[in-house]
Amino acid sequence: MLTLAHVVSGKDGLYRAAGETRGMRTVLMILFVVIVLVVVALGYIRLAPSDVSLWDEPLDISQDEDLPGGVKRVVETGPDGLAKLDAVAMATARTTRLAGSVAAGRITWITRTKVIGFPDYTTAQQDGDKLMIYGRLRFGKSDLGVNRARVDGWIDRIEF
């Protein structure tokens, strides 16, 4: 016969089972909090505003450089290089113009990754026959070569 003393003392495993249920609730609560934090972080990455003054800055690049979080390129394109690059960039999936124009001589684009929407910023500036290009990530420290591949791909598609 089951008595109140058995339940309180933990006999027949009832107390242990109740403790396991509490432990499972704690694990589920922690899992829920982690999921909510991940969703909030991904939402911020996707929806965070882009401050033009931070990303559309004048370029002064003298040579090609591969960086952990981006790439710098200098290309002899002739005076219409920026217009040609703009056409290539705007034809790229998930790419929008953040600031600038061909007439202004500098343009900054945002290209987002397909799944999560991480933003990468690419600025190009025409200086005579020379086109300076700087592609970089916004979040993290390494882009695993994504900006280099995109910028070099854009350069390869420009008709000289």
pLDDT in tens, 47-104: 889 999 999 999 999 999 999 999 999 999 999 999 999 999 999 999 999 999 999 9
Tokens 């998930």 map to which residue? 94
Q: How far apart are CA 35 and CA 27, in angstroms?
A: 12
- Structure-token pair, residue 145: 């070569």
* SS3 call for 104: coil
Q: Report the CATH number at residue 129.
A: 3.30.310
Tokens 């909090």 map to which residue? 33
Per-residue pLDDT, averaged over 116-129, amounts to 95
Full-model pTM = 0.79
What per-residue confidence (pLDDT) applies to 10?
A: 52
Residue 45 has pLDDT above 90, yes or no: no
* Residue 62 and residue 11 in one domain: no
* Residue 22 and residue 88 in one domain: no
* Residue 94 and residue 131 in one domain: yes
Per-residue pLDDT, averaged over 155-159, amounts to 92
For 16, 83, 142, the CA distances from 159, given in Å and listed in that order, are 74, 11, 30
